[in-house]
């Protein structure tokens, strides 16, 4: 497939150059201005206002053509034991570096989690302390109000008791005067 695509690109370059030369030399139109190619058919399509149009049909590759277009690979250079050793050491160093980076990231993540946990615990402690202080103040206020209420009630009770004693005394005095 790659060979066909490369061949197609090369043929298109040839066609454009050939078409330009032919159009300069022979301005009249011809039926088959394109040449015959072994691996593709080119059919002109009706002329357009913007220029010429062609339909390019690629022929399937045959085993014979593969041999003709065979490109040799560049020769491999000999790799020495030292080169292999250097590559292995470089790979080991990259692995260590990556491992150290992952460990650093994990340590930073753990430290961040610990900081967040400590901050949450501190906030919870502060909230608990503040809530306890508020509750204590409220309890003190309630106790103070209760003591005040009890003192007022005791004063009223003593006042009623004095009034009752006075009424009893007045009654006894009336009774003793009437008798």
pLDDT at 144: 96
Q: Which two tokens mark 116?
A: 């967040």
pLDDT tens, the chain, 179 aa long = 677 777 777 766 666 665 656 555 655 555 554 556 667 777 777 766 666 777 777 777 665 555 555 567 777 777 888 999 999 999 999 999 999 999 999 999 999 999 999 999 999 999 999 999 999 999 999 999 999 999 999 999 999 999 999 999 999 888 888 87
pLDDT at 61: 65
pLDDT at 20: 56
**Three-state secondary structure along 20-87?**
HHHHHHCCCCCCCCCCCCCCEEEEEEEEECCEEEEEEEECCCCHHHHHHCCCCCCCCCCCCHHHHHHH
Decide: helix, strand or coil at residue 97. helix
pLDDT at 86: 93
- Are 61 and 34 in contact by the 8 Å Cβ rule? The answer is no
Q: What is the C-alpha separation between 167 and 165, in angstroms, rounded? A: 5
CA dihedral 90, 95, 96, 102 (to 10 degrees): 150
- Is pTM beyond 0.85? Reply is no
pLDDT at 102: 97
Q: How far is CA 179 from CA 39, 120, 133, 169, 174, in A?
A: 155, 86, 68, 15, 8
pLDDT at 103: 97
pLDDT at 145: 97
- Are 56 and 42 in contact by the 8 Å Cβ rule? The answer is yes
The residues spanned by each domain of the chain are: 2-68, 88-164
**Three-state secondary structure along 112-134?**
HHHHHHHHHHHHHHHHHHHHHHH
């Amino acid at each position: 497939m790659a060979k066909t695509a490369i061949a197609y690109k090369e043929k298109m370059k040839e066609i454009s150059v050939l078409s330009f030369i032919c159009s300069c030399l022979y301005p009249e139109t011809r039926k088959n201005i394109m040449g015959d190619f072994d691996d593709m058919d080119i059919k002109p399509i009706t002329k357009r206002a913007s220029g010429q149009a062609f339909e390019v049909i690629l022929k399937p590759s045959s085993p014979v053509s593969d041999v003709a277009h065979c490109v040799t690979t560049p020769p491999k250079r000999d790799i020495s034991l030292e080169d292999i050793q250097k590559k292995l050491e470089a790979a080991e160093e990259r692995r260590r570096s990556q491992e150290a980076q992952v460990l650093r990231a994990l340590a930073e993540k753990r430290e961040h989690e610990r900081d967040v946990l400590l901050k949450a615990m501190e906030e919870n402690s502060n909230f608990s302390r503040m809530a306890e202080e508020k509750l204590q103040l409220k309890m003190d206020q309630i106790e103070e109000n209760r003591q005040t209420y009890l003192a007022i009630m005791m004063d009223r009770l003593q006042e009623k008791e004095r009034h009752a004693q006075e009424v009893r005394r007045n009654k006894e005095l009336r009774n003793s005067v009437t008798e």
